[in-house]
Amino acid sequence: MQQFVRAKLHGIRVTGADLNYHGSITLDPETCRRAGLDPLEFVEIWNKNSGARISTYVLYGVPGSKCCVLNGAAARTCQVGDEVIIASSTFGALDDMIASSPTVLTFGPGNEVAEELRYRVFRNERGEPDMTIEQDGGVVPIRELVG
């Protein structure tokens, strides 16, 4: 069994931090559903501004709010306006990953979705694992994304 990315929100901005709430991260359910994040699902959060890395679980907030609120102890890891990466994972064999295509959403100001990407894993002509990143049905050169 290996651990693989299942869904990812890249560059979503923190809209709030509530130290006195009972833990977790509160996200807009519309955003979560689009990416494939479920309520109470455990996620990793990486703060692009501070480098902080935490693990917590998802709570659904108000639909359409575009919220990203770190609660409880997680509130100490961020400031409003910080960009974070939120990723969920799953366990399985490589063939399980090949059968899936995780959604990656990137964000602009106001937490509007800027891009919807798909990670596609496959076996190349030698049978080795390989991947592409797809957007709007086309392949995005990985070097363009790695900049």
Active site residue 65: no
Tell me whether residue 114 is annotated as binding. Answer: no
The residue ranges of every structural domain in the chain are 2-90, 92-146
- 24 catalytic per annotation: yes
Residue 108 marked in a binding site? no
Residue 93 in marked binding region: no
CA–CA gap between residue 50 and residue 9 (Å, rounded): 17
In the set 57, 65, 89, 100, the catalytic residue is 57
23 annotated ligand-binding residue: no
Query: Which residue has tokens 């102890």?
Result: 73
pLDDT for the residue numbered 145: 52
Q: Which CATH architecture has domain 2-90?
A: Beta Barrel (2.40)
pTM of the model: 0.92
pLDDT at 72: 94
Taking 70 as the pLDDT cut, the residues of the chain under it are 142-147
